[in-house]
Amino acid sequence: MNDQKNHNPVSGIVSTGKDLVAMLRDGMLLLLAVLLLVWPQAINTVLVKAGFEEGSFLGFKWKAQLEQTDNALVKANTAIADLREQNSKLNSALEEARTQITNPKFSSKIEELNELNARVDQAAAAVQKSVEATTSENAPLIQKAQASTGNVVTWGVVYGADRKLDAAEYEVRTIAPKLGLSNAAIYFRNNWFRSVATTTDRLQAEQFLAKAKKRQAGAQIVNMSSWCPNAIEEEWYFKCGNP
């Protein structure tokens, strides 16, 4: 009986210690759950940097969606670039029409449309700049995520658009080596011969983009599988299917 009494204090300390550890663990998990609910993007980024892809606790689950989100942003950036290009064509057509119209009323209406298109283009440019900044910041995380999952994505840096094939050939054969853009080729998309440097390394794509912007401020990174699907190799270029 005396031995049992002597052991009781030790057992009590051990039991209290276990309870304290369990309480601290549950408290930390609860804190992390709250942080994920309040600042999901920031905490998710920290978890991915630490090497965590998916987890579950206290009924909460999270999974890093960086690759999907980044792909959506890259597609959105491509769509904005395409729309700005179409808007530029519309402006040119309206300006040409305005010079041929003698009625001051219609001429004034066309001028108003041109001004509206200019404001739309400015707003689109601001959004595009923000999207590009986000995708650039995400690049190291995307590279890490792709390496861990084994996903291979071909990124393209579009830095030229020409109506004539020989002009595009000059871009990929002469300009690309000077800029340090490797694996450059011509892709025929939306009736334009596009100069594109490709790579499967996202960080290298960002490096290509920085170099390409010295040549063309509107250069952009695209996901080749969605930007130029079902590409057919012609003699001097690749012909893109419908995006």
Encode pLDDT of 94-139 as tens digits: 777 777 777 777 777 777 777 777 777 777 777 767 777 777 777 7
pLDDT for the residue 56 = 44
The Cα 76–Cα 194 span in angstroms is 19
**What is the mean pLDDT for each group of 10 consecutive residues in the chain (243 residues)?**
51 58 59 56 59 48 59 76 76 75 75 77 74 76 71 91 96 96 95 95 93 92 93 94 74
pLDDT for the residue 35 = 58
pLDDT for the residue 221 = 94
* Sign (positive or negative) of CA dihedral 143, 145, 147, 151: negative
**Residue percentage of the chain with pLDDT more than 70:** 69
Structure tokens belonging to residue 153: 């994505």
Structure tokens belonging to residue 32: 């992390």
Please calculate the CA angle 240-87-136 and round it to the nearest 5 degrees. Answer: 65
- Binning the chain into helix, strand and coil, the percentages to the nearest 5 are 65, 15, 20
